[in-house]
Structure 1
Amino acid sequence: MTDSTASRNRPDDRDEIARLLPAPADRDLTREQHLRHKELLMHHIDHDRAASAAAAEPVRRTPWRRPVLVASATALALAGALTAGVAMTGTEGRAHGGTAATATESRPAAALLHRISAAAARHDTPTVRDDQFVYTREKIREADVTSGKAVVGPLKDYESWLAQEPGPLHKLGLFRVDGETLPINAQLGDTEGTPAGLGRPTYRWLGSLPTDPGRLLDYLYAKTPEAERRQRDQAVFEQIGSLLGGVMPPRTAAALYRAAAEIPGVRRTAEARDVIGRQGLGIVRDDTRYGVRTEWVFDAKDYVFLGARTYLTRDTSYGKAGTLLSGTAELAHAVVDEAGQRPADGDRTRTA
């Protein structure tokens, strides 16, 4: 049995870990941790569907807790186990990517992503030193599923300052939500600190990724954390989405969009809006197992990444079709010298 096969068969222990840990303080949540909520939500929905189909005893739900990098730490461990499986997992989905109808449906998406890629490649290459911080300002909205129902919270102002040192680091930066500033600490389990990587994508690390779309996609299929019964293609699509919108080398951004165009099931949507209502061009992929759609929104004029939304596409125990699970709207990005420092208006950019 290969390492990659073993990792796929290994039980997912994230919910159990989250149950054993005390719930952290409210708002103690970074954007990266927030992105992991969706993965845990999918796990809950999958268990509910399996229990219903088998007419078995109802699944005992683990109390929902803000994971504070619990999921991230486990995901990194799983990612490490995948390094030997590049050849197997790197072509999964692409090798049997679907029917001719699927290929026809995806062609408009590929054409749009190639135009977005070309626009990203034309951006100026910023100078980012290892001792600096990447600043992001955005609006976020998320659903709380503690009660077993998706309760959509209010729109929040979010700022972050992410350290660019390769690390490993114990202090990764700062984030500010609705005026409250909190530290971003090393991921749970990283006793030596968290290094640059998928869980902490620094500018230098992003610049080290393959710029050939095929090689980059192979890398992402191998390194993206696995979750039990989760659609692999969807996980990689969302992993790419988690990297978009920040300050990154133009060649890397261009390669990411071209890599996304090769993922089976990626489609273009006629109308898309970010979480603050800005309308743009949409790229979507549906996770048919869970009835969830992830949508990327781009400016129709310059192809800049505006934000992303994830919402239910069918009625579930968590809510009606269309219920928002998470959403972001990118407002500004910059490079600053200190954590907590806001850039001057002229230094702010929006980066695809």
Structure 2
Amino acid sequence: MTATTGTDNGRDDRAELARLLPPATGFALPPGRHEHHRERLMNQIDHDTAAAAARDRAPDRASTRAQGGTPGRTSGWPQAPARPRLLRPSFLAPVAALALAGALVAGYSAQGGGEGPARAGGGASAPERAGDAQPVALVLGRISDAAAKSGAGPVGDDQFVYVRSQVQAGDLTSGKLVTGPPTEREIWYAQQPGPQKKLGFIRQDGETLPINAELGDAEGTREGLHRPTYRWLAALPTDPRQLLDHLTALTPKDEGQEHAQAVFENIGHLIGETVLPPETAAALYRAAALIPGVTEAPDAVDALGRHGVGIAREDTRHATRSEWVFDPEGLAFLGSRTFLTKDTEIGGKGALLDAEAVLKRSVVDEGGVRPQG
């Protein structure tokens, strides 16, 4: 009887505590971001597996090279199934850790913790840039005009878009945000139309691996938002409003992220690691000017510390801010960065989630082969 009474009292206490405490803050990663982080984690696992296999097969590789073979095209070279990496570099961490971190950020923001948006690289916070709709439209208009005169492309269906970048990524496996040192990455994106099971190659940390079709694409991955071939990009609407509506419709909605932020980030993906047709590039920048909340970020900084003209948007739900950085002279795209805008339990205000600095873009005839010069 005593034990029963004690149990009932315990239940009453828990019920009373549950009544007094505020409801738990819900959090869910947006579909694209969730899939992105899972794919990056699987890429890292594949990369480590391939590296170990490469060490074990070192004699075979040496023999293959002595016979004039090409790495990646012989049985002696490890053929680990590297999964596709989406265009935007981001932190490598298990999905569970990312969900926990997101919950901490969302919960902290809901409680009013931290301060206003960070001024990374001298960028102004959203409240300080209030009413900047006309200036940011003018800046993006100038960037659009410069892009229209870039003369990039065309890219043939049998060619590869080559992008060499300096990237930084945050790691949340410990529950705290730890930003790693800058590393160089090279990617060759295949341009073949139709579903493809081999999307290109990636070279990082001394290893070159194939990029396979996205997870679940048994018949291969088609051209689209996450496989933007030159042909697909050239077919996009060039009217800014129509283009924004089209990209908005292609971008999945999720309660965990502002839809406008997801669209802004998708445009960032497209301008970050592709060769854009000039007309499409010009339309993308003018479309970005139509997204609510997009502001100018003077003196933004990329992953190499290069200062430039910035275009930014803050996701208040996730307490993050994404910035694009452009050369102040010719207004060419330099890179991007994403950072926390508030002090949170995973990191302080201004802590870097990811950053990129584009070093070279080119078009090559063979995947895995660097362009001359």
| Shorter-normalised TM range | 0.7 to 0.9
Partner of 2:253: 226
What is the match of residue 209 of structure 1?
A: 236
Please say which of residues 242-251 and 190-199 is displaced more in the overlay. Answer: 242-251
Q: CA deviation at 1:105?
A: 1.9
Match of 1:291 in 2: 319
Code of the residue aligned with 2:201 in structure 1: it is: L
Runs of 4+ in structure 1 off by over 6 angstroms are 38-42, 52-55
Q: Is the Cα–Cα contact under 8 Å of residues 163 and 172 in structure 1 kept in the other structure?
A: yes
Q: Is the 8 A contact 1:123 1:250 kept in 2?
A: yes
Asked if the contact 1:12/1:228 (under 8 Å) is kept, the reply is no
User: Within 5 Å, which residues of 2 pair with 1:177-326?
Assistant: 177-245=204-272, 246-326=274-354
**What residue is the counterpart of 2:104 in the other structure?**
48
* Residues 102, 265 of structure 1: 8 Å contact kept: no
- Determine the C-alpha separation between the residues in 2 that align with 1:203 and 1:335: 11
Which of 13, 18, 25 matches 2:46?
25
Superposed displacement of residue 102, structure 1:
7.8
**Are the structure 2 counterparts of residues 303 and 18 from structure 1 closer, same or farther at C-alpha, using a change threshold of 3 Å?**
closer
The answer on whether the counterparts of 1:311 and 1:322 sit within 8 Å (CA) in structure 2 is yes
Structure 1 residues 338, 53: CA separation in 2 closer, same or farther (over 3 Å shift)?
A: closer
SS in 2 for 1:219: helix
Q: 1:12, 1:293 → 2: CA distance? A: 19
* Offset at residue 334 of structure 1 (A): 0.7
* Aligned partner of residue 195 in structure 2, secondary structure: coil
CA deviations over 1:57-92 (Å, ceiling 9, x no partner): xxxxxxxxxxxxxxxxxxxxxxxxxxxxxxxxxxxx
Give SS of 1:175's match: strand
What is aligned with 1:108?
135
* Partner Cα distance (1:292, 1:183) in 2: 32
| Alpha-carbon contact 2:364-2:371 (below 8 Å) kept | yes
Equivalent pair of 1:280/1:297 in contact (CA under 8 Å) = yes
Could you tell me how far 1:24 is from its partner in structure 2? 2.4
Residue identity in the other structure for 1:332? K
CA drift at 1:103: 7.1
Compute the displacement of 1:228 (Å). 3.3
Question: After the TM superposition, which of the residue ranges 297-306 and 240-249 deviates more from structure 2?
Answer: 240-249
What is the root-mean-square deviation in Å for CA atoms of aligned residues?
Answer: 3.1
Number of positions where the alignment pairs a residue of Structure 1 with one of Structure 2 = 291
Once the two structures are TM-superposed, the CA of residue 225 in structure 1 deviates from its matched residue by: 2.7
Question: What is the CA deviation profile of residues 195-247 of structure 1, one whole-angstrom value per residue up to 9, with x for unaligned ones?
Answer: 11101000000001000000000011110133332111111000000011321
Taking the aligned partners of 1:240 and 1:52, their CA distance within structure 2 comes to 28
Q: Tell me the SS of whatever aligns to 1:272.
A: strand
What is the DSSP-based 3-state SS (H/G/I as helix, E as strand, rest coil) of the residue aligned with 2:86? helix
- 1:70 alignment counterpart: none
Conserved 8 A contact 2:302-2:336: yes
Counterparts of 2:85 and 2:270, CA distance in 1 = 11
**Residue identity in the other structure for 2:203:** R
Query: Displacement of 1:48 after TM fit?
Result: 2.9
Report the residue type matching 1:123 in the other structure. Answer: S
**CA contact under 8 A between 2:90 and 2:170: conserved in structure 1?**
no
1:164 aligns with 2:220: no
SS state of the match for residue 210, structure 2? strand
Give the superposition deviation at 1:164. 0.2
Amino acid of the residue matched to residue 289 of structure 1?
R
* 1:143 is aligned to 2:170: yes
Specify the SS of the correspondent of 1:32.
coil
Taking the aligned partners of 1:49 and 1:250, their CA distance within structure 2 comes to 39
TM-score, structure 1 length as denominator? Answer: 0.75
Query: Displacement, 1:176?
Result: 0.3
Indicate if the aligned counterparts of 1:294 and 1:308 stay in contact, CA closer than 8 A.
Answer: yes
Q: Kindly, what percent of the aligned residue pairs are identical?
A: 50
CA deviation after TM superposition for structure 1 residue 32, in Å: 1.1
